[in-house]
Amino acid sequence: MMIFHTGLPTHDSNQKTASLLSIILICLASVLSLLLSGCQDPPLAALEKARLALKNAEYVGAKKYAEAQYREAEKSLQDGRMEVARQKGRFSPFRNYKRGDSILALAFESANKAAADAQDFHGELKSRADNAYNGLKKELASWRDALDGSLTLFNAEKHWSTADMALKMSQSLIIKDEYEEAIRAVEKGKKSLVQISQVLNEYANEEAQKIKVWRRWVNETLEDSRRNGTTGIIVDKSAHKLYLIKAGKLIHTYDCELGYNSAKQKYFAGDGATPEGKYYVTKDRHNGSKFYKALLINYPNETDKKRFAENKRKGFISRWAHIGALIEIHGDGGRKDDWTDGCVALTNGEMDHLMQYVSVGTPVTIVRRSEAWP
């Protein structure tokens, strides 16, 4: 009885306990499910993806060629990393990686854009440098053709050589991927080429101004020869011809060689130019010259002396410069090149021929260009 009595309340209490336990279990399950739903995985894949994209951007040179975009991607990656870390530190039900995910996606995009921009810019810059280099190379070759031969202008040659140095530098810089420096070197080279144009323009202007004077000198020499029935010599530097005239008529034409800087007027000793002016033979040297026969002319004449003094005064030539002397028409020529210091050279046979007609006092007119004559 006693046992039966105590059994009934025990059964009721068990039922109650079971109900209570069920409620607790339901509550716990709810909390657990809430906890589990709050436990999102951190976006490690997105983080790794963005990190690799940034490495790739660096590899293709984004730090150099798309720096702003690269730094933006770098900052986004770090911001994303920090946001993920911040969320990881929170109590799991409250974690939310959405913001971190979107920042990392932005970092990935920025890194890819930086890589693409770097590749585009690198390609464009390389192509610009290559084009600039090839352009300068072409221009230099064309100037080389223009400067060679009779047009030996040393000032122009100097600028050409400076441009050539710039070309070589740009080539070396392109090999080392220093494209911007290479472009700068080409620009410097181009400036030197502009200076060649200026030198040649000055030369052309000088010629245009002097052509009338040269024509007058030629006409005066011809007229004197015609009037007095005498012999005369006219040298046309641009044609590389020496004309022997008598009584105003052409007797013979000789090919001649000149000073190595023959395209210019002679300004001072050692400039390699053949003088332009009206001269006459002061001495005929059948022997005594270091060349095979020679006719010495009266360089410098009064005009030369005046010009020399004027140029010195204006500082166009060094104050230590000398005017020079000993300009001759001499033998040992026939080298097919302008090689003298300023003299006029003929072959020995032609020198023998010329000496038959010429004597001391024979006028010698030297012009850069005689144009209409003979």
Cα-Cα end-to-end distance for the chain: 163
Nearer to another protein, 184 or 215 (CB): 184
Give residues 355-374 in contact with another protein (rule: CB under 8 A).
none
d(C-alpha 130, C-alpha 148), whole Å: 27
Phi, psi of 122 (to 5 degrees): -60, -45
Rounded to whole angstroms, what are the CA distances from 197 to 107, 156, 189, 211, 358? 53, 8, 13, 21, 42
Cβ atoms of 90 and 35 closer than 8 Å: no
Q: Using the rule CB under 8 A, is 317 a contact of another protein?
A: no
Q: Residue 282: CB partners within 8 Å, gap ≥ 6?
A: 296, 297, 298, 360
Rounded to whole angstroms, what are the CA distances from 42 to 84, 95, 101, 180, 365? 7, 9, 9, 44, 98
Selected range binding another protein among 117-125, 174-182, 304-312, 358-366, rule: CB under 8 A: 174-182
Cβ atoms of 182 and 170 closer than 8 Å: yes
Q: Using the rule CB under 8 A, is 172 a contact of another protein?
A: yes
Select the residue interacting with another protein from 2, 3, 175, 372 (CB under 8 A): 175
Instruction: Encode burial over 4-17: b for 16+ CB neighbours within 10 A, e otherwise.
Output: eeeeeeeeeeeeee
Select the residue interacting with another protein from 144, 168, 249, 313 (CB under 8 A): 168
The CB-of-44 to another protein minimum distance in angstroms stands at: 12
Nearer to another protein, 105 or 165 (CB): 165
Dihedral angle computed from the Cα positions of residues 61, 63, 69 and 72, in that order, rounded to the nearest 10 degrees: 140
The CB-of-345 to another protein minimum distance in angstroms stands at: 9
Q: Using the rule CB under 8 A, is 339 a contact of another protein?
A: yes
Q: Using the rule CB under 8 A, is 150 a contact of another protein?
A: no
- H or E stretch at 364: strand 363-367
Select the residue interacting with another protein from 78, 127, 150, 228 (CB under 8 A): 78
Q: Using the rule CB under 8 A, is 63 a contact of another protein?
A: yes
The CB-of-78 to another protein minimum distance in angstroms stands at: 5
Q: Using the rule CB under 8 A, is 333 a contact of another protein?
A: no
Q: Using the rule CB under 8 A, is 314 a contact of another protein?
A: no
What is the sign, positive or negative, of the torsion defined by CA atoms of 124, 125, 130, 131? positive
Q: Using the rule CB under 8 A, is 88 a contact of another protein?
A: yes
Q: Using the rule CB under 8 A, is 171 a contact of another protein?
A: yes
Residue 172 CA, distance from chain mean position: 12
Stretch 31-60: interaction string toward another protein, x if CB under 8 A: ---------------------------x--
Q: Using the rule CB under 8 A, is 67 a contact of another protein?
A: no
Nearer to another protein, 165 or 251 (CB): 165
Nearer to another protein, 136 or 166 (CB): 166
Give residues 243-302 in contact with another protein (rule: CB under 8 A).
260-261, 272
Transcribe 232-289 into DSSP letters: EEEEETTTTEEEEEETTEEEEEEE-B-BTTTTS---STTS-PPP-EEEEEEEEESSSS
In whole angstroms, how large is the CA radius of gyration of the chain?
47
The CB-of-125 to another protein minimum distance in angstroms stands at: 15
Selected range binding another protein among 15-23, 30-38, 86-94, 136-144, rule: CB under 8 A: 86-94
Longest dimension (CA), the chain: 179
Nearer to another protein, 55 or 227 (CB): 55
Nearer to another protein, 37 or 96 (CB): 96
Interacting residues toward another protein by CB under 8 A: 58, 63, 78, 81-82, 84-91, 152, 154, 157-158, 160-162, 164-166, 168-169, 171-173, 175-176, 178, 181, 185, 260-261, 272, 335, 337-341
